Structure formats: structure tokens, C-alpha cells
Chain A
Amino acid sequence: MTDEDRLLPIANVGRLMKQILPSNAKISKEAKQTVQECATEFISFVTCEASEKCHRENRKTVNGDDIWWALSTLGLDNYADAVGRHLHKYREAERERTEHNKGSNDSGNEKETNTRSDVQNQSTKFIRVVEKGSSSSAR
């Protein structure tokens, strides 16, 4: 991978930075590059922690739960709280979309089978997210 591929796009990073600062604020190019590198390191750091959890549990796919757990473990509690809610909302929307597709598409048994399996998996994860949320609140 080239250096540019290794990092988040600096234009997106700069735009996010600009949105939160006052209108009279200016951002040096070095500052944008530094935040760009920090954000990339943030992803790698959390991913590494999530990946280790997957290995311990003999799983090969890093999912949203693992990232939520990693954020909590690494002391990034604000992120874990907000991300937990975001993950829950996403799965809810995915479940609704899946049910909608199932209703409008009665042909193709194989596809339906995959859809049902997906729904079951999401339900399981949904329950787990709720439990983790409770645990987080207890702390």
C-alpha cells in the first residue's frame, strides 16, 4: 500500500476539523496531517485489541461487538457508549431492511435461507449489545 492508501483521506479529516472550529479559526497543513495520522493510529490500535479478542474466542471475523468491547477495554468510554448506540441502531435498520426484502421477494429459496440465518445472527448480537450496554451502565 502506498502512504496515501495507508491513511484516511486528508480532505475528509480537514473537513471534520473545520466543522467543529469557530469560523475565524485556521488550521495549518501540519495540524491536518498530524490528526490524519492520529486517526489512522486510532483505528489500528482499536482493531488490534478487537482482533486479539477474536483470536481468544477462536473467531475469524472482527465485528461491531469486538470494536465496542475494545473501546471499553482501552478506556475510551465515551466512544464505547456512543458507538454502542450507533451499532444498535444500525442492526435495527438492517433487520428492518432484511424483513422488507424478504416480504417483497418470495422466490429463491437459497436466498431466503441466507436471509433467515442473517436475521438470527443479528438477533443474537442484538441481545449481546443490550447486555453489554447494561454492564457499561453498571460501571
Chain B
Amino acid sequence: MRTNDLILKTTTNIIVFIILAFSFKLFLAGHNMPGGGFIGGLMTAGAIILMYLTYGLGPIKKVIRVPFTFLIALGLAIAVATGLGSFIFEQPFLSQTDGYFYLPILGKTHLATAVLFDIGVYLTVIGVTMTIILSIAEDQ
């Protein structure tokens, strides 16, 4: 029987963008406010799970082409690469630095290399969460 979920689909189309924006805000706010890569990745995974709940496995697989196990590997590689990058400047492993830069639109911005490590955490959390949930869901 084919059911009609017009309300759920319309609500999801709007709310997913809000959740993604909120998760990105949490990810960027981690340096000075509550938040960070872990909770940002979990919220992004929550948005993707909401899409899977609404549209099912098949249509979302056509939309999100990146396999989630690849995201785990990419996140871990980025985290290790930020650790190894400190060897270039002859510093101990995982040394972090930061500084103030003048960007074209944003003006004076505080940029830290800890954000790069956080990107690794973010991608790994998304990959692990989605791999766990999808491998449970596909087993019918």
C-alpha cells in the first residue's frame, strides 16, 4: 500500500536545512562556545537520518553519493595529516597554532589549525553514525 506523507515530506524539506545550518554553527562555534566537531557531526547525522526516515533508503542513496565508510577513512586521514603537518615546521606531533588574518569579506578573522583536526572528528562521527544506522536498517 502506498501511503501519502505530504506533511512529513514538506516539513522535512524545510527542517533539514535548519538542522544542517545549526550543526555547521555548532561545528564552527567549538573554539569559544559549547559545540565542536563531535556534536556537529552528530547533528549532521541527525539531519541525514531525518531524510532517510522520510524518503527511504533508495532515493537518498541517489542524492548522497559519498559512501559513509569513505567518510570515516577521510576524517581519520585529515586528523592524522594535521598531526603530521606539525613536523614540517619542526614542532612536536599534533602541535596547534592560531593567528589573526584579514580575509576579503569577513575582515579580521581568528583562524586556528585546531579547526582542521575538528573537521576530521566531524567527518568521522558522521561516517560512524551513518554506517551503524544504515547497516542496521538494511538488514531486513
A binds B: no
Residues of chain B having any CB pair with chain A under 8 Å: none
Residues of chain A having any CB pair with chain B under 8 Å: none
